[in-house]
Chains A and B, each alone.
Chain A
């Protein structure tokens, strides 16, 4: 009785079902599905069992997604857009998604570590209140961290894969919102953590607004939010230049904020310092990879014909990012803040690869991202192990003489720092070499000169930390080193990757090169 009525009433007829390539976007679906399953676990599993259910679930989700990505990468198919053109599944995307998933797995090792207890027992309790003490004493763990983590990772997978700006914006928000929350959940120094969360949230929503504004202007220019359409419109040199340039500027601003490039870097030190260290590790590795992936896609696809317009500005941003990151880092006395500025400087190095806009630039940036991600996760894992009565010993002076107290941990950390500095036989050297080579080939030699100089400046403060650790007397009540198996595993993984990518980089370089051969689909 209803069928003929609805047929008669709907003038356009039935809406045909959209065609979704489930196989191609399965990693994303898997991770988001596990996140939703995690929410169900929170709702239906008893408090005592939640942790034991959540952790394997999250591990399985990330590992499954990673395995599926590898399978997708092994099949030699022509890459194509998926899900009604919303996502591009191509070589660079798969490489980035694989990198994000494996780095998230390593971060999960840190997050799931109960021994270090980085997360607040009850986020809603006032810092220092009785309720907080009671929940802490009861040994309660806020297991909502795991679904939030999976949501964030899902967003990170979508962000660099999105083939249109709307999907990209949604991916950006799915990635950012859980991270804002996770930043405020540190167990120690709650006020600092909450301040970091609020700061990140406010500045992040500001940058999202700019991003959205840019999308609006570009839509006005091209009449479409698809990256390919924007490129085609720009190639025809039609439409209004003003809209286009305004759009590029605002879009780039939103992306550069997520990377933490100077002058949009203000949030990074505060947030990295305040957030629970496992979350800092996640942000320093996965978020950076994801944001650079999106940056690459936008600049390589949508603005490919406009290099003359955006290159000068990006040159400037890259140069001040490298220099400011390296110079300000010298004055830092907190380990996590120092690593944050180091991350800013590395964002500058990575930008030189983006500016190259060549196949080599793409592949070298991909390699650098993977190498840097592993090193930084390992470094933050080490930071979680050096503890005193108040939690992690953040201040640099507390690390004095660590080499005598715990030579192994200090040695590992020193190695990570050398990798950041780009000493040969570490992955940092290979990455920087690849990126700078691509930049030189793309006639950006001045950039490379600046890069080398700021690398030298950066090396100064890395070496300073090594000196403090090995060549000064330990304090009497200095911090102790507590290494639990999960953290140790994370450190070992980071170390292994840093060594292997430094000594035998060719397979991964080939992989990145292979991923970059077809460039991005559109």
Chain B
């Protein structure tokens, strides 16, 4: 085992372990923090795989924005300090069984599919240049269509949440 592989395995263990903590902890905010750790470990794995750009974007977007927004939502609605008994569900054994089964399926499939096949890591294989040329050449159409998807989601969010349409007085349009 090379040092790289050891680090990769350790990060994987951290990611899985904190993932388990996310669903087992009884404290809502702690669950979010475990999720941060899991995402962080994933970013570390990307780094080990020389995908620097993806790694930092992972930190920036998932750790820095998405989980913060999650925390935000939790805090604005309810965020009890201490354990919350209603975080537990009677379906936990079924859920655990499904999760284990899915994981087993995936692991089996991946092991059977790839076995111990190895791919050499190239320096710069995951750099911004490589990523940019993939996104803006081969995958340019799906990439641009994704922006359309985001736009439609944005419009939908406004439709579903804006309550000041036709209020008592119509204010400035830009308001």
Contacts and interface: CB of A to CB of B under 8 A. Distances in A.
* Touch A–B, Cβ below 8 Å: yes
Interface of A: 10-12, 15-16, 18, 20, 25, 32, 35-36, 39, 42-44, 46-47, 83-87, 121-125, 131, 134-135, 138, 140, 142, 144, 147-148, 151, 154-155, 158, 166-167, 170-171, 173-174, 177-178, 180-181, 184-185, 217, 220-221, 239-240, 242-243, 246
Interface stretch (B54-62, B80-88, B151-159): B151-159
Nearest to A164: B142
Interface residues of B, number: 38
Contacts of B6: none
B155 to A, nearest CB: 6
Contacts of A140: 165-166
Given A12-B129, A46-B173, A151-B148, 10 more contacts: A10-B129, A12-B130, A32-B145, A44-B173, A124-B163, A144-B158, A147-B152, A167-B142, A174-B145, A243-B113
By secondary structure, the B interface counts as: helix
Interface stretch (B7-15, B65-73, B104-112): B104-112
B109 A177 contact: no
A151 B155 CA distance: 10
A431 B156 CA distance: 37
A16 B166 CA distance: 49
A242 B145 contact: no
Given A123-B160, A135-B165, A144-B159, A167 B151 contact: no
24 contacts: A32-B145, A35-B148, A36-B151, A43-B173, A46-B173, A47-B166, A47-B170, A84-B139, A84-B140, A122-B166, A147-B152, A148-B159, A151-B151, A154-B145, A154-B148, A167-B142, A170-B145, A174-B145, A185-B159, A220-B109, A239-B113, A240-B114, A242-B112, A246-B109
Instruction: Kindly list the 5 A-B residue pairs having the minimum CB-CB distance in the complex, ordered from nearest.
Output: A243-B113, A86-B141, A151-B152, A240-B113, A181-B156
B141 A220 contact: no
B148 A242 contact: no
Contact of A12 (B105, B133, B140, B142): B133
B17 interface: no
Interface of B: 105, 108-110, 112-114, 124, 129-130, 132-133, 136-142, 145-146, 148-149, 151-153, 155-156, 158-163, 165-166, 170, 173
Contacts, number: 135
B173 to A, nearest CB: 7
B85 to A, nearest CB: 25
